[in-house]
A and B are shown apart, each in its own frame.
Chain A
Amino acid sequence: MYSSRKTKRRPAGAFTLKLIAYGIVFAGAVVMLLPFYFMFVFATHANADILSVPPPYWFGDHLLENLKQLMAMRPNFWKSIGWSLSIAAATTALNLFFCALAGYAFAMLDFRYRETLFGLILATLLLPSFVSMIPTILLMQQIGWINSSKALIIPGACGALGIFMMRQYISSVLPRDLVDAARMDACGEFDIFLRVVLPLIGPALGTLALITFIGSYNNFVGALLVLRDQEVYTLPLVLRSLQGTNGVTWGALSIGAAIAVLPLLALFVVYSRRLIDGLTAGAVKG
Chain B
Amino acid sequence: MQPTERNRPRKRWLSKKWAPYVFVSPFFILFAIFGLFPLLFSVYVSLFRWDGVSPLSQMKWEGFGNYLYVLELEGLDFRTVFTQAFWQDVYSRDFWRSLYNTLWIGVVAGLPQHLIAIPLAVFIHTQFRRARNGILAIYFLPFITQTVAIVLVFQALFSAKFGVINSLLTGIGQWEVAGFAPFSLMFPTEPVDWARPQKTPWIVAFVVWWRYVGWNTVLYLAALQTIPKDLYEAARVDGASPWRQFVHITLPQLRPMIFFAVTLTLIGNLQLFEEPYVLTAGTGGIGQVAETSAMYMLRVAMTDGDFGTASAVAWLLFMFVALLTWMNNRVLKPKD
Contact = CB atoms under 8 A, between A and B. Distances in A.
Q: Do A and B actually bind?
A: yes
Contacts of A163: 24, 27
A129 B136 CA distance: 28
Contact of A111 (B20, B274, B282, B298): B20
Contact of A50 (B35, B162, B213): B162
B231 interface: no
Given A101-B26, A188-B14, A29 B138 contact: yes
A130 B219 contact: no
B184 interface: no
B135 A138 contact: no
B65 interface: no
A155 interface: yes
Nearest to A253: B152
Interface size class of A (residues with CB under 8 A): 35 or more
Nearest to A49: B162
B265 to A, nearest CB: 13
Interface string A214-230: 10011011000000000
A64 interface: no
A12 interface: no
Contacts of B133: 272-273
Interface residues of B, number: 100
B301 A186 contact: no
A29 B311 CA distance: 42
A104 B52 CA distance: 40
Contacts of A42: 153, 156
A141 B6 contact: no
B38 A132 contact: yes
Contacts of B150: 35-36, 39, 257, 261
A96 interface: no
B124 A139 contact: no
Given A21-B123, A25-B124, A280-B219, A51 B162 contact: yes
Nearest to A35: B153
A95 B295 CA distance: 29
Interface of A: 6, 17-18, 21-22, 24-25, 28-29, 31-36, 38-39, 42, 50-55, 57, 98, 101-102, 104-106, 109-111, 114, 117, 121, 124, 127-139, 141, 154-155, 157-158, 160, 163, 183-186, 188-190, 193, 214, 217-218, 220-221, 235-237, 239-240, 242-245, 248, 250, 253-254, 256-258, 260-261, 264-265, 268-269, 272-273, 275-276, 279-280, 283-284
Nearest to B30: A158
A61 to B, nearest CB: 19
A186 B10 contact: yes
A179 B34 CA distance: 33
7 contacts: A36-B145, A101-B26, A111-B17, A133-B294, A158-B26, A244-B281, A280-B222
B144 A130 contact: no
A132 B23 contact: no
Nearest to B256: A284
B138 A130 contact: no
B273 interface: yes
Given A53-B162, A261-B150, A268-B144, A135 B42 contact: yes
A279 B45 CA distance: 37
B147 A220 contact: yes
Contact of B301 (A137, A184, A276): A137
A26 B222 CA distance: 20
B41 A245 contact: no
A131 B37 contact: no
B242 interface: yes
Given A50-B162, A218-B146, A280-B222, A128 B318 contact: yes
A113 to B, nearest CB: 9
Nearest to B5: A186
Interface in B124-152: 124, 126-128, 133, 135-142, 144-150, 152
Given A55-B164, A131-B39, A134-B297, A102 B27 contact: yes
A72 B136 CA distance: 39
B52 A137 contact: yes
Interface string B254-282: 00010010000001001101100010011
Nearest to B50: A138
Given A141-B52, A273-B133, A121 B27 contact: yes
Given A32-B138, A36-B141, A53-B162, A130 B294 contact: yes
A31 B207 CA distance: 11
Contact of B24 (A25, A102, A184): A102
A147 B271 CA distance: 25
A50 B156 CA distance: 9
Given A28-B120, A121-B27, A272-B137, A131 B318 contact: yes
Given A138-B307, A264-B144, A28 B139 contact: yes
A257 B149 contact: yes
B31 interface: yes
Given A32-B214, A186-B6, A243-B152, A283 B26 contact: no
A132 B294 CA distance: 11
A72 to B, nearest CB: 19
Which of A55, A132, A256 has the most C-beta atoms of chain B within 10 angstroms of its own C-beta?
A55
**What 9 pairs across the A-B complex have the smallest Cβ distances?**
A135-B38, A189-B19, A105-B23, A257-B149, A155-B34, A272-B137, A111-B20, A135-B42, A236-B148
Given A24-B120, A218-B147, A220-B274, A135 B39 contact: yes
B271 A279 contact: no
B53 interface: yes
B23 A124 contact: no
B154 interface: yes
